[in-house]
Chain A
Amino acid sequence: MIAKIICYTLNGLDGVPVEVETDVNKGIPAYEMVGLPDTAVKESKERVRSALKNSGMLFPLHKITVNFAPADIRKEGASFDLAIAISLLKASEQLTEANTDGIVFLGELALNGDLRPVNGILPILISAKGHGYQKFVIPYGNAREARFLGGAEIFAAKSLSEAVAHLRGTAPIAPLETAEFSLRAKTRTGADLAYVKGQPMARRALEIAVSGGHNLLMVGPPGTGKTMLARCLPTVMPDLTFQEALEITKIHSVAGTLGEEGIVTERPFRTPHHTATTVSMCGGGNRVVHPGEISLAHGGVLFLDELPEYKRSTLEALRQPLEDGVITIARSAGVVTYPARFMLCASMNPCPCGNYGSAELTCTCSPAEIRRYRARVSGPLLDRIDLQVEVDSIGYDELTSTQLREDSETVKGRVNEARRIQRERFEGRRVASNAEMGEREIGEFCALSRECDEILRGVFERMKLSARARSRIVKVARTIADLDASEKILPKHVYEAASYRIYDKLG
């Protein structure tokens, strides 16, 4: 008898239906798998055999053929185990009373028959629902994640025998209740701007960067709190909407980095070490294409500490995703596109010894050394970083102003307001924030008065800025004006924006 069971595999963030067909025939006992399964799928033979036995069911001593259709896509991972086991039971007529039509089975089997959670449940469920499937049997370990998919019947089974009992109707499992999406009240890291001492300039730059979606470079001696500041970035970013959360969760689900809650409730903060390879940064892999750090940072912050230490090729690879917000990875197995719209925050020392510009310590680097060090970060990459700010080691005691003890919540309030202005401005356009403006939008929304134009010209002449810095300054000035709730860009906005281009002045 032939049994057909529906299962799903992943291609990027999309689920692809796979039919598991099993035929049990009379003949010399054998167990064949066809249809381009990879090693992990083939190994499921032994898992399924043991799981069936240890769940009190029979493993048929016949000629067994398992086929995966369509046969032209490669099947990987252990999520087919449950589907194979169920189809075996059906084909060997041990499960004749159950109706398995239209049910999607997902899960990895343990030798004792337990069901183990698998990666990528949420994107599979979303795709499958889109394909019209309404019923799912999944491992109990994936229940938290699956709860957020409304409008489908999802049964979370702890073991194979539970799933079989449910199908037979002897012990039905109650479908999962759809969970309400709620944001976590307190961040996991506990980061908050209230704990950052001093750093008035950097705080301001942080606020502008988040308000306008600009990328940020922090330059400062070691130990001045660059990382601490960067960790605060997610806390001042606007709250996640459910749609955003779902999209981020899909990526993390595929990568298997999902936490306890089953959904991402706060914006990701990724800090890949500077030894990271281009593939780990952008995504890739031998046969399976995994999302890279930039995709895992989607909707959040990618923090690159010690920017010049990263491999140049790795940094250059960031340029295209920074512009497009997606990364398309081509491998022999196929082409996969992952979203990668992240905010880039980088930090570096001002010079090799780290003391350039310090009040107390003397810098021992020659200008040539400093130039070499800074040249490790290429111009085109710097060009995509609108804000460059110096982080300094000023003593907290020197300042008493209350401005310095603001917590993230207060800053976030102002950010939300600035974002609202931008949303209204860019209504019905492809652009979402000031940083994404193209030349057309700049011409339309960033008209400069004659006075501002004069100032900008003066700034260019005196500071020896590169021509491409102009539109960057104008964009940042627009954001500063938005924070100021000012319709027009005023001279002070231009001046302040110009003060965040410290690196253009170098050679």
Chain B
Amino acid sequence: MDYTADETAIIWLCAQNFDYGTRVRLLRAASRPQNLLTEFGKISQSVIKRGEMRVYNNDCRSPEKSAEAVMAGMRDCGAYAVTLLSEDYPDSLKVIPDPPLALFCIGRRELLKKKKFGIVGSRITPPWAAKEARLVSERLAERFVVATGFAEGGDRAAIDGALGSGNLICVLPLGIDGCYPAAHHALKEQVREKGLLVSEYAPGTGLKKYHFHARNRILAGLSEGVLVASAGRKSGALITANFALEFGRDVFAFPYNPGIAQGAGCNELIKSGAYLCTGAEDIFACYGISSPSRERTELSETERRVLEVLRSEGEVHAAVIAERAGIPVYEAAATLSSLEVKNLAVKAGGNRYSAL
């Protein structure tokens, strides 16, 4: 991949150990970004106080050489960079107060320019919410590119839903060549093949606590709107939602029963004005996209009765369902299993089921 001299300079700058503010100040001090490579010593003197340079622990004596090393690092892991100067840089991200200077990507570049919708959720997501998020993600991927993180729980559900169509962007909180959580290594391979991996961090950057916060701003910045599938009172998913609000994007949330800790944050969001979302239709409606509603599936008499019980009682134990529907327990188990396959019910653990 070819980069202009300006772009090369920005990519090099992003790979250096400066914080975001310093990078921006350095860029401003240089009349043209490419000057950074040639006259870094001079430019940095006006930005970074003498003696402070040591703090950053960078080797800035020959920027041109180290820029080549950064490029080589990117080539090694098959990544490319999209800088603020690039045509492909997403417009929605450009308008946020602190857009990343460059995005390191692996995968389908064209996804960056498409309309994106974010789905986030905390790592501990109740089974029904995970399944519902997966379904919503699957439907949304028909019209949007689904943007999400890379964690377990809600993020994972969104990935699972959108991976099939490939309209998926995962924003990583560490260098594009890394994988966190490590258990998702195989998943990462799938995403890079079908979708797109994005990170603000150059290859080789390790994971830091504050990366998650910064990552969430990119996630919100990329998206037209954000769906919060699950969020406790202090969940990271709420940070993304707050960024989205700040950037003037729409926020959607799944409603929860009162008293369920994993949903307290979602309910708070709805109370303070987020859209209540119970399916992909709600999101489509908000963007004026007409969509056929969920196709009707043929149900047997028993299935219909069981589903009725599920809808009227919320999360119920299989034995209770059997009794209410007047069928033996083992038949209820079979029926619930078939409803599960038809995406109308979900197992909540402990032999409890709920309707979708």
**Taking the complex as formed, is A401 at the interface, i.e. its CB lies under 8 A from any CB of chain B?**
yes
Are the C-beta atoms of A367 and B123 separated by less than 8 Å? yes
Are the C-beta atoms of B334 and A493 separated by less than 8 Å? yes
Are the C-beta atoms of B319 and A362 separated by less than 8 Å? no
If A200-B318, A367-B153, A400-B323 touch, whether A495 touches B338 (CB-CB below 8 Å) is yes
Which residues of chain A come closer than 8 Å to B348, judged between CB atoms?
A: 357
Say which one of B38-46, B210-218, B324-332 lies at the interface with A.
B324-332
Which residues of chain B come closer than 8 Å to A455, judged between CB atoms?
A: 338, 341
Task: Report the Cα distance A499→B306, complex, angstroms.
Answer: 16
Which residues of chain B come closer than 8 Å to A480, judged between CB atoms?
A: 330
Are the C-beta atoms of A496 and B323 separated by less than 8 Å? no
Q: Name the CB-closest residue of B to A364.
A: B124
If A357-B349, A367-B124, A367-B152 touch, whether A200 touches B329 (CB-CB below 8 Å) is yes
Are the C-beta atoms of A499 and B123 separated by less than 8 Å? no
Q: Give the size category of A's interface with B.
A: 35 or more
Query: Which among A204, A358, A401, A495 has the greatest number of chain B C-beta atoms within 10 A?
Result: A495
CB distance from A201 to the nearest CB of B (A): 5
Task: Report the Cα distance A358→B350, complex, angstroms.
Answer: 6
**Taking the complex as formed, is B337 at the interface, i.e. its CB lies under 8 A from any CB of chain A?**
yes
**Taking the complex as formed, is A111 at the interface, i.e. its CB lies under 8 A from any CB of chain B?**
no
Interfacial residues of chain A within 243-264, with CB under 8 A of chain B in the complex: none
Which residues of chain B come closer than 8 Å to A381, judged between CB atoms?
A: none
Task: Report the Cα distance A357→B128, complex, angstroms.
Answer: 11
Query: Which residue in B181, B329, B349 is a CB contact (below 8 Å) of A403?
Result: B329
Task: Report the Cα distance A495→B342, complex, angstroms.
Answer: 12
Task: Report the Cα distance A366→B183, complex, angstroms.
Answer: 13
Which residues of chain B come closer than 8 Å to A366, judged between CB atoms?
A: 123-124, 152
**Taking the complex as formed, is A139 at the interface, i.e. its CB lies under 8 A from any CB of chain B?**
no
Which residues of chain B come closer than 8 Å to A403, judged between CB atoms?
A: 328-329
Which residues of chain B come closer than 8 Å to A463, judged between CB atoms?
A: 340-341
If A201-B318, A368-B181, A398-B320 touch, whether A499 touches B352 (CB-CB below 8 Å) is no
Query: Which among B152, B317, B323, B347 has the greatest number of chain A C-beta atoms within 10 A?
Result: B317
Task: Report the Cα distance A463→B341, complex, angstroms.
Answer: 7
Are the C-beta atoms of A362 and B261 separated by less than 8 Å? yes
**Taking the complex as formed, is B291 at the interface, i.e. its CB lies under 8 A from any CB of chain A?**
no
Q: Name the CB-closest residue of A to B181.
A: A368
**Taking the complex as formed, is A63 at the interface, i.e. its CB lies under 8 A from any CB of chain B?**
no
Which residues of chain A come closer than 8 Å to B318, judged between CB atoms?
A: 200-201
**Taking the complex as formed, is B245 at the interface, i.e. its CB lies under 8 A from any CB of chain A?**
no
Are the C-beta atoms of A399 and B319 separated by less than 8 Å? yes
Are the C-beta atoms of A499 and B317 separated by less than 8 Å? no
**Taking the complex as formed, is B179 at the interface, i.e. its CB lies under 8 A from any CB of chain A?**
no
**Taking the complex as formed, is A394 at the interface, i.e. its CB lies under 8 A from any CB of chain B?**
yes
Task: Report the Cα distance A480→B330, complex, angstroms.
Answer: 10
Query: Which residue in A200, A221, A499, A502 is a CB contact (below 8 Å) of B322?
Result: A200
Which residues of chain A come closer than 8 Å to B181, judged between CB atoms?
A: 368
Are the C-beta atoms of B352 and A371 separated by less than 8 Å? no
Task: Report the Cα distance A220→B319, complex, angstroms.
Answer: 16
Which residues of chain B come closer than 8 Å to A394, judged between CB atoms?
A: 317, 319-320, 351
Are the C-beta atoms of A368 and B152 separated by less than 8 Å? yes
Task: Report the Cα distance A306→B334, complex, angstroms.
Answer: 28
Which residues of chain A come closer than 8 Å to B322, judged between CB atoms?
A: 200, 401
Query: Which residue in B320, B328, B329, B349 is a CB contact (below 8 Å) of A350?
Result: B349
**Taking the complex as formed, is A363 at the interface, i.e. its CB lies under 8 A from any CB of chain B?**
yes
Which residues of chain A come closer than 8 Å to B317, judged between CB atoms?
A: 359, 392, 394, 398
Are the C-beta atoms of B350 and A357 separated by less than 8 Å? yes
If A350-B349, A357-B348, A357-B349 touch, whether A462 touches B329 (CB-CB below 8 Å) is no
Query: Which residue in B323, B330, B334, B341 is a CB contact (below 8 Å) of A462?
Result: B341
Are the C-beta atoms of A356 and B333 separated by less than 8 Å? no
CB distance from B97 to the nearest CB of A (A): 32
**Taking the complex as formed, is B335 at the interface, i.e. its CB lies under 8 A from any CB of chain A?**
yes
**Taking the complex as formed, is A104 at the interface, i.e. its CB lies under 8 A from any CB of chain B?**
no
CB distance from B150 to the nearest CB of A (A): 13
**Taking the complex as formed, is B103 at the interface, i.e. its CB lies under 8 A from any CB of chain A?**
no
Are the C-beta atoms of A401 and B323 separated by less than 8 Å? yes
Task: Report the Cα distance A120→B135, complex, angstroms.
Answer: 64
Q: Name the CB-closest residue of A to B349.
A: A357
Which residues of chain A come closer than 8 Å to B105, judged between CB atoms?
A: none
**Taking the complex as formed, is B336 at the interface, i.e. its CB lies under 8 A from any CB of chain A?**
yes
**Taking the complex as formed, is B315 at the interface, i.e. its CB lies under 8 A from any CB of chain A?**
yes
Q: Name the CB-closest residue of A to B186.
A: A507
Query: Which residue in B153, B333, B343 is a CB contact (below 8 Å) of A496?
Result: B333
Are the C-beta atoms of B319 and A201 separated by less than 8 Å? yes
Interfacial residues of chain B within 108-134, with CB under 8 A of chain A in the complex: 123-124
Are the C-beta atoms of B351 and A201 separated by less than 8 Å? yes
Query: Which among B153, B329, B335 has the greatest number of chain A C-beta atoms within 10 A?
Result: B329
**Taking the complex as formed, is A29 at the interface, i.e. its CB lies under 8 A from any CB of chain B?**
no
CB distance from A453 to the nearest CB of B (A): 14
CB distance from B344 to the nearest CB of A (A): 11
Query: Which residue in A201, A363, A491, A507 is a CB contact (below 8 Å) of B329?
Result: A201
If A458-B341, A495-B335, A496-B330 touch, whether A200 touches B319 (CB-CB below 8 Å) is yes
Are the C-beta atoms of B319 and A462 separated by less than 8 Å? no
**Taking the complex as formed, is A198 at the interface, i.e. its CB lies under 8 A from any CB of chain B?**
yes
Task: Report the Cα distance A399→B324, complex, angstroms.
Answer: 10
Interfacial residues of chain B within 151-175, with CB under 8 A of chain A in the complex: 152-153
Which residues of chain A come closer than 8 Å to B323, judged between CB atoms?
A: 399-401
Are the C-beta atoms of B183 and A371 separated by less than 8 Å? yes
**Taking the complex as formed, is A492 at the interface, i.e. its CB lies under 8 A from any CB of chain B?**
yes
Task: Report the Cα distance A366→B315, complex, angstroms.
Answer: 22
Task: Report the Cα distance A480→B329, complex, angstroms.
Answer: 13
Which residues of chain A come closer than 8 Å to B349, judged between CB atoms?
A: 350, 356-358, 390
CB distance from B131 to the nearest CB of A (A): 10
18 more A-B residue pairs beyond the given contacts A455-B338, A495-B337, with a C-beta to C-beta distance below 8 A: A200-B319, A200-B322, A201-B318, A201-B329, A350-B350, A357-B350, A358-B350, A359-B352, A362-B261, A390-B349, A392-B350, A392-B352, A393-B350, A403-B329, A495-B335, A496-B330, A496-B331, A496-B333
User: Would you list 26 pairs from A and B whose C-beta atoms are within 8 A, ordered by A residue?
Assistant: A200-B318, A201-B333, A201-B351, A204-B333, A221-B350, A357-B349, A366-B152, A367-B123, A367-B152, A392-B350, A393-B350, A394-B317, A398-B317, A398-B320, A401-B323, A455-B338, A458-B341, A463-B340, A463-B341, A492-B331, A495-B335, A495-B338, A496-B334, A498-B337, A498-B341, A507-B183
Enumerate the 5 nearest inter-chain pairs by beta-carbon distance, A residue then B residue, closest first: A357-B349, A357-B350, A496-B334, A499-B337, A367-B152
